[in-house]
A and B are shown apart, each in its own frame.
Chain A
């Protein structure tokens, strides 16, 4: 195997190792990452019950909470991470080392996916057991495939964010904050996005540009309701997710090159608090 490929995989596994091993060294995550999302699940589940909504809506909230874990991971542990690495002094080491930055980002993504999958499963199981959400695994394998496709697109977006947030500097913190509620709204984190069909097409198109929208709509169809609350057929959503995955990965690579070029020209990549 060529040395460059070996180095890529070594760097990728080394970076993901740090993320995965954290789960075993700091067990407080079980409380933090399972109990805390359950509180918002409980609030929204009771809200739907108070509104006399059908039981499947509680399932949507549980699924939304599980997928929220991935979105937070993409924002904080992918997007904002290079910015934090700069603040802690590691970014210069990454840049100086022979390991490609794309491998570092891929390692962050794989490690993040692995740890967040554990949390998401814990949230899903706890939520379904506590709130008795009517879930079905009749199309479990297809649901798993769509879930993985969603993750590829989502973490591709996270890899792109990592370079962008570093370029945006101190605004990154606020941008990460800003990308929470608006994204929860646009992706229909706690409700079926079918209600957007009455809105202008550009809004639906904007929502579909975030992989969570198509991914969750497809998963809701497969795990909870069939087609009752769907935005579009699953086949289209698979195509959208595949397209987004390719697009975001290519864009991540391109932005990384922009970042490296800018760093060389301006020489201030390592400057903190800017």
Chain B
């Protein structure tokens, strides 16, 4: 246990240094702020443009609850990207760029815990970005009116965050394990998974609008439950009669949602552990842990 904790401590520290020490602290903070905030502002601009055009064309704008929906969703999704894809990119960066992965593998450090620590460092960055994005949203009236911190359900928020972090770690381990046996072009795998999750978890649109054959796939993804839970905990339920309330899981209670998330996360954790052990063994046998592809 002590060995795991030591590895966790130093890999988190290392991850944070890699992420942050390339610039002076102020520039790094600016970097932390600009990227997620502008990503979310793009959705705000899409909402404004659609609202203006829909009003001009059909005489009725976009329901106002769409804006906080996409804004909060996108801020939470940043955490998905940071942890899952941060952990998988560690394999590529350490193996191809810094050429340190083989040394970490043969060192007494716990290999899997090392990835967890690097994921923690990314998570800190992601959580920072998400909080800053949500706070920046307070400057926009459409979001400020919905982001009432008095109505925020802190208990459910903490529960969703805790289970969510385990889910993201497991998903990140699946990706990192896959990367161990792939070349640097495997970054496309990360991007592909990111795209699938962004699309099928209904980050920027309600699931009700998906074609009926895609909805069951969407409901199988733990990230769908997590994002729904985070939105509910932060914003509360959508107004009655809103198109946002027609999602297949909109009628579930918070408890049902958390239960579905726990069950799907347990399945994911079990699969991740089996896949990790198999991948490490295969990578070790085939010399993939030190193989570089000329990055």
Which residues in A have some Cβ–Cβ distance to B below 8 Å?
A: 26, 28, 32, 35-36, 39-40, 42-44, 46-54, 57, 84, 87-88, 170-171, 173-174, 177-178, 180-182, 184-185, 188-192, 194-195, 228-229, 273
A180 nearest in chain B by CB position = B35
Q: Which of B42, B43, B210 has the most CB of A within 10 A?
A: B42
**A46–B38 CB distance below 8 A:** no
How many angstroms between the C-alpha atoms of A54 and B205 in the bound complex? 16
Which residues in B have some Cβ–Cβ distance to A below 8 Å?
A: 22-23, 31, 34-36, 38-39, 41-43, 45-54, 57-58, 60, 62, 66, 70, 97-98, 185, 188, 191-192, 195-196, 198-199, 203-206, 209-210, 243, 294-295
How many angstroms between the C-alpha atoms of A34 and B204 in the bound complex? 21
**A88–B35 CB distance below 8 A:** no
Chain A binding site: helix, strand, loop or mixed by DSSP? helix
How many angstroms between the C-alpha atoms of A44 and B199 in the bound complex? 8
Contact A185/B198 with A43-B203, A49-B209, A84-B295 known, Cβ cut-off 8 Å: no
Contact A51/B51 with A36-B188, A46-B209, A178-B35 known, Cβ cut-off 8 Å: yes
Top 10 closest pairs, chain A to chain B, by CB = A39-B195, A53-B50, A181-B39, A191-B49, A47-B204, A50-B205, A51-B50, A51-B62, A182-B38, A32-B188
| Contact partners of A44 in chain B: CB under 8 A | 46, 204
Contact A36/B191 with A43-B198, A46-B209, A88-B295 known, Cβ cut-off 8 Å: yes
**B35–A54 CB distance below 8 A:** no
How many angstroms between the C-alpha atoms of A42 and B198 in the bound complex? 10
**B204–A43 CB distance below 8 A:** yes
How many angstroms between the C-alpha atoms of A87 and B98 in the bound complex? 10
**A273–B192 CB distance below 8 A:** no
Contact A54/B49 with A32-B188, A185-B42 known, Cβ cut-off 8 Å: no
**A170–B185 CB distance below 8 A:** no
| Contact partners of B295 in chain A: CB under 8 A | 84, 87-88
| Contact partners of B48 in chain A: CB under 8 A | 191, 195
| Contact partners of A228 in chain B: CB under 8 A | 53
From A35, A36, A189, give the contact of B42 (CB < 8 A).
A189
A52 nearest in chain B by CB position = B54
From B31, B53, B191, B210, give the contact of A46 (CB < 8 A).
B210
From B41, B54, B70, give the contact of A47 (CB < 8 A).
B70
| Contact partners of A229 in chain B: CB under 8 A | 49, 53
From B35, B45, B198, B210, give the contact of A40 (CB < 8 A).
B198
Instruction: List 6 A–B pairs whose Cβ atoms lie within 8 Å, in order of A's numbering.
Output: A43-B199, A51-B50, A51-B62, A174-B31, A181-B36, A188-B45
A48 nearest in chain B by CB position = B50
**A50–B206 CB distance below 8 A:** yes
**B98–A273 CB distance below 8 A:** yes
B294 nearest in chain A by CB position = A88
Tell me the minimal C-beta distance from A127 to chain B in angstroms: 14
Q: Which of A54, A173, A180 has the most CB of B within 10 A?
A: A54
Tell me the minimal C-beta distance from A93 to chain B in angstroms: 14
How many angstroms between the C-alpha atoms of A195 and B44 in the bound complex? 11
| Contact partners of B209 in chain A: CB under 8 A | 46, 49-50
Contact A42/B199 with A36-B192, A49-B209, A174-B31 known, Cβ cut-off 8 Å: yes
**A51–B39 CB distance below 8 A:** no
B97 nearest in chain A by CB position = A87
Tell me the minimal C-beta distance from B204 to chain A in angstroms: 4
How many angstroms between the C-alpha atoms of A40 and B203 in the bound complex? 11
Tell me the minimal C-beta distance from B13 to chain A in angstroms: 18
| Contact partners of A43 in chain B: CB under 8 A | 195, 198-199, 203-205
How many angstroms between the C-alpha atoms of A43 and B203 in the bound complex? 8
| Contact partners of A54 in chain B: CB under 8 A | 53-54, 57
Tell me the minimal C-beta distance from B27 to chain A in angstroms: 8
Contact A39/B54 with A88-B295, A182-B35 known, Cβ cut-off 8 Å: no
A26 nearest in chain B by CB position = B185
| Contact partners of B46 in chain A: CB under 8 A | 44, 47-48, 51, 190-191
**B206–A178 CB distance below 8 A:** no
B34 nearest in chain A by CB position = A182
